[in-house]
Amino acid sequence: MANKILVTGGAGYIGSHTAVELINSGYEITIVDDLSNSKESAIAGIEKITGQKVEFVKLDLRDYDALKELFANNKFDAIIHFAASKAVGESMQIPLHYYRNNIQCLLNLLELMDEYNVPNMAFSSSCTVYGQPDQLPVTEQTPFKPAESTYGNTKKINEDILRDAARSNEKYQLIALRYFNPVGAHETAEIGELPLGVPNNLIPFVTQTAAGIREQLSIFGDDYGTPDGTAVRDYIHVVDLAKAHVIAVDRLLGKKNKANYEFFNLGTGKGSSVLEVVNTFERVNDLKLNYKIVDRRAGDVEQTYADTTLANEELGWKAELGLDEMMKSAWAWQQKLN
């Protein structure tokens, strides 16, 4: 009988792509999502790609009683926890919402994992836990600096909670995956990034500007200490990222983890500037973007990119898709939405 995985936030961007890879790897999944930052159409997309019906439960993880009922009625072998509020800019405007949502959800899950003997969790963390690092590339041993955003701080606090939980109870088997900047979409264009309202992330704003939905793309700052003055990030294709989550679950269920709390950087190991991304998008899709340089945005770090040696060696995982594929698939997804 197939192992059953609970995917929280599974109708979201990374969650939906991971759901596809889990099903393709033979896992049975249950998706839980409150649809506050996603749409149920993602479930249909997953089903279309995989040819399988997906169990979906609309549920807010902050609702402890509803979540407990879910655990009582199912036997999960592992959890992949994506569900969180995730926009850096927005987190600076409504910080209390981010603390309440991102921390309470994890606490509820950990308590019920203990009660219902579900030891395994792969947690969706972020490179924002490192703040603005003193040295690049960022390794897993890079010290955490004060978070530049409320969102980053919630991820840092989440990791502190996971570390303390693992230290206090050997039953927990936990892996935190610190990802850099996921972009792109599934090659079928059946699922992709679907921000509700005005996008906070670069790529959906790029694609919506190209599609005429947004009048202009704002590039926040050209006076950073980077080659072209714009901020540098390690962009990773969402499908590469999704595959890493399957490997993490395989590792936990196969008891191959070397400690009951592990953490890995997931990126390509290469930084790309905002202007480089924009120029690549224009080149591979043969179009021009209307963009303007504006002031820096609160909460943004200057540059960050990953050292992925540990994930490459321990997980046997490596990012395979480049910036060209990321920009092509993102535009194909946007065109399907139009």
For residue range 171-184, list pLDDT tens digits in order: 999 999 999 999 99
Q: What is the pLDDT of residue 196?
A: 79
Query: Region 137-148: what's the mean pLDDT?
Result: 93
195, 272 contact by CB (below 8 A): no
Residue pLDDT, tens place only, 195-239:
878 887 899 999 999 999 999 999 999 999 999 999 999 999 999
The token pair at 112 is 């019920």
DSSP string, 223-288: -SSSTTSS-EE-EEEHHHHHHHHHHHHHHHHTT--SSSEEEEEES-S--EEHHHHHHHHHHHHT--
Query: Region 12-34: what's the mean pLDDT?
Result: 98
Q: What is the pLDDT of residue 147?
A: 87
Task: Give the chain's mean pLDDT.
Answer: 96
Residue pLDDT, tens place only, 30-80:
999 999 999 999 999 999 999 999 999 999 999 999 999 999 999 999 999
Decide if pLDDT at 299 tops 80. no
Query: Region 233-246: what's the mean pLDDT?
Result: 98
Half-sphere exposure of 21 (CA within 13 A, CB side): 23
Catalytic residue, from 98, 130, 151, 261: name it: 151
List the beta bridge partners of residue 30. Answer: 6, 55
317, 247 contact by CB (below 8 A): yes
Please choose, from the candidates 110, 112, 303, the residue with its C-alpha nearest in 3D space to the C-alpha of residue 221: 303
Using DSSP's 3-state secondary structure scheme, residue 2 falls into coil
Answer yes or no: 151 catalytic.
yes
Decide if pLDDT at 254 tops 80. yes
% the chain with pLDDT above 70 = 100
